[in-house]
Chains A and B, each alone.
Chain A
Amino acid sequence: MNDTSAAPSRPPPPARRRRWTWIDTALLAAVLAALGWFAYRTEAVMFYRWNWSVVANYLIKVDPATGHWQPNALLDGLFATLRLAVWGLVLATLIGVPMGVARNSRRLFPRLVSGLYVMVIRNIPPLVLVFVVAFFVANQILPGLGIRAALARAPDWLQTTCAVLFGPPKIIENIIVGLLCLAIFTGAYVAEIVRAGIESVPRSQIEAGESLGLTRFQILRDVILPQALRNVLPPLANQFIQMIKDSSLVSLVSVQELTFVAQDVQIATQRVFEVFLFVGFLYFAVCWSLSRLFARLEARARAAG
């Protein structure tokens, strides 16, 4: 088919560039001015001398005994924060998804329980929750379980595994408490997001599943939840990023995560700016990576839609 009378197809016109306007110039000038003022204050007025080598020293150090490089406090803190992030994400999902489903339940009892949970958590500050959980769980329940004692007697390989997966066995109870706080707190928001996601799936999808003979549970698992979660990926990503930032609260129960360690290093070195600027950068790097990961998930989900 070589019909020359038809309008020949041609490539699209080049994409129009956004122009640089005077507003952009003004904004850039404002940013440069603010930076310049900050540099002037630190250099000339406060006579602040930057010393980034302390940060490097607290990141990795040479073990004097073996001569090998090994992670120092700040890097350990970063790892602790990453572990909190990963397990927090898993636990918050395990709590949040069933609670979100229960919010839409036909039965009264699950609706009541999940509604109460979300209402309580949403209306108390995370800090207060940390203290409450620390008191009840850490002081009343955990010691009775004897997890730490059991771990202390456990073989070396188990202790090492625990250290890699969760953190130092000595503070395992603090870590459990910290994780619980994060998961309970984040789970409530995840539940609300999941509920909204479920409500965003049209009823006709349930009917299609019913007409094929699927059970209510199968419809939930295979039809509703995959679509619901896909629809709420952006707010879910936000919530998990928020959780990573909230994980600094766990320093209050003596989990040596990034913020906890930063305070120690800052006291030891008296280098407030360098330490906290650097720690801020680390949090940024972690959160930004997670948001990229979610952006890719979203792109994949869109490709399927």
Chain B
Amino acid sequence: MTAAPMITMTGVNKWFGRFHVLKDIDLAVAAGERIVICGPSGSGKSTLIRCINRLEEHDEGRIVIDGIELDEDTRNIAAIRREVGMVFQQFNLFPHLTVLENCVLAQRRARGTPRKEAEARAMHYLERVRIPEQAGKYPARLSGGQQQRVAIARSLCMEPKVMLFDEPTSALDPEMIKEVLDVMIDLAGTGMTMIVVTHEMGFARQVADRMVFMDQGRIVEAASPADFFAAPKSDRASLFLSRILTH
């Protein structure tokens, strides 16, 4: 990996009030790299990836995405948010808009794409997530798995360079997890840069270039999946793995 990294975080620190939630985070993600972040609940995984599209502000350190530094400048934030897509645990679809309108809205508003073109692209990505027949429905009419796939399509419509996933399958019934993971595996095959917070270790093994293990606001370990699963270096990581792999 010689090209300039897609994402560079150096010395990032963040506090919620007096609570030190991110501690000296250093992380570089190459273009096309797929990272899976895991770690116990409350370890700061969500906060970390939410700093990348500025849903949370970091207090110290630098975050550079595709050559643009995240700072107070609103134009930078807008530019970065257009490059970075995010999929949430609770889907966060717009309930008052149909599936198609969910996918069209930001294309029209943030990119100024003409309606025809925006709708064509929306249908293209709805087909990619295998759900084009639901385009006219409202989100509440869909199952959780379908909603999450729409959320992925909605993000992809902005043609981002990076996709962030925050526990995309944690809110799903077991029988729907696979349909969402399959879509994400497909996406990984297209060379998308992905950062995925998940406890789906089968997915991690199959897709991840690198595993990042977090605990108490720190990146404790970063290793290839083969090394990480075979022999985690830290006690905390092996304890964590033994807990989630045995249930």
Interface residues of A (CB under 8 A from B): 204-205, 207-215, 218, 222-223, 226-227, 230, 301, 304-305
Q: Is the CB of B109 within 8 A of A214?
A: yes
Most central of B53, B84, B109, B138 by chain A CB within 10 Å = B109
Q: Do the beta carbons of B158 and A212 come within 8 Å of each other?
A: yes
> Is there contact, CB below 8 Å, between B110 and A204?
no
Q: Which residues of chain B in 85-116 are interfacial with respect to chain A, using CB atoms and an 8 Å cutoff?
A: 85-86, 88, 90, 92-96, 105-106, 109-111
Would you list 9 pairs from A and B whose C-beta atoms are within 8 A, ordered by A residue? A205-B92, A207-B88, A212-B81, A212-B85, A214-B109, A218-B109, A222-B105, A230-B96, A305-B138
Chain A residues positioned under 8 Å from B96 (CB to CB): 226-227, 230, 301, 304-305
Residues of A within 8 A of B81 (CB): 210-213
Bound-state Cα–Cα, A211 to B53, Å? 7
Which of B55, B78, B138 interacts with A213 by CB under 8 Å? B78
For A304, list chain B residues within 8 Å (CB).
Answer: 96, 138
- Given A213-B81, A213-B158, A305-B140, is A208 in contact with B88 using a C-beta cutoff of 8 Å? yes
How far apart sit A222 and B101, CA to CA, in the bound complex (Å)?
11
- Give the distance in Å from the alpha carbon of A218 to the alpha carbon of B78 in the complex: 13
B residues contacting the other copy or chain, number (CB 8 A): 26
Cβ of B154 under 8 Å from chain A: yes
Expressed in whole angstroms, the minimum distance between the Cβ of B214 and any Cβ of chain A is 21
Q: Residue on A with the closest CB to B85?
A: A211
Asked if B82 is at the interface (CB within 8 A of a chain A CB), the reply is yes
Q: Is the CB of A208 within 8 A of B92?
A: yes
Complex contact A215–B92 (CB within 8 A): no
By a beta-carbon cutoff of 8 Å, the part of chain B in contact with chain A is: 53-55, 78, 81-82, 84-86, 88, 90, 92-96, 105-106, 109-111, 138, 140, 154-155, 158
Nearest chain A CB to B122's CB is how many angstroms away?
A: 13
Given A211-B86, A218-B109: 20 more A-B contacts, CB < 8 Å:
A204-B88, A204-B92, A208-B88, A209-B106, A210-B81, A211-B84, A211-B88, A212-B81, A212-B110, A212-B155, A213-B78, A213-B81, A213-B111, A213-B158, A214-B105, A215-B109, A215-B110, A222-B109, A223-B94, A230-B96
Instruction: Give CA–CA (A214, B105) in the complex, Å.
Output: 9
What separation, in Å, do the CA atoms of A15 and B227 have in the docked complex?
A: 64
> Nearest chain-B residue to A215 (Cβ)?
B78
Query: Quick one: which of A204, A215, A304 has the most chain B CB within 10 A?
Result: A304
Dominant SS at the A interface? Answer: helix
User: For B84, what are the chain A residues with a Cβ–Cβ distance below 8 Å?
Assistant: 211
How far is B242's CA from A189's CA once the two chains are assembled, in angstroms? Answer: 58
A212, B105: Cα distance in complex, Å: 9
- State the CA gap A214–B94 with chains docked (Å): 13
Q: How distant is the Cα of A214 from the Cα of B86 in the complex, in angstroms?
A: 13
User: Given the complex of chains A and B, what is the CA–CA distance between A218 and B158 in angstroms?
Assistant: 16
In whole angstroms, what is the CA distance A218 to B94 when docked? 13
- B95/A227 in contact, CB under 8 A: yes
Min distance, Cβ A235 to any Cβ of chain B, angstroms: 18
- Nearest chain A CB to B85's CB is how many angstroms away? 7
Least Cβ distance of B40 to chain A in Å? 23
Please determine whether B94 and A205 come into contact, CB atoms closer than 8 angstroms. yes
Contacts of B93 in A (CB 8 A): 208
Q: How far is the CB of A281 from chain B (nearest CB, A)?
A: 38
Report the 8 A-B pairs with minimum CB-CB distance, sorted nearest first.
A212-B106, A208-B92, A213-B110, A211-B86, A213-B82, A213-B81, A204-B92, A226-B96
Say yes or no: A208 contacts B138, CB within 8 Å. no
**B153, chain A: closest CB distance, angstroms:** 12
Q: A304 to B94: give the CA distance in the assembly, Å.
A: 11
Complex Cα–Cα for A208 and B93 (A): 7
> Which of B53, B82, B92, B155 has the largest count of A CB atoms less than 10 A from its CB?
B92
B56 to chain A, nearest CB (A): 10
Also in contact, A207 and B109, with CB within 8 A (given A212-B81, A212-B158, A223-B94): no
Contacts of B55 in A (CB 8 A): 207, 210-211
Are the CB atoms of B95 and A305 closer together than 8 Å? yes
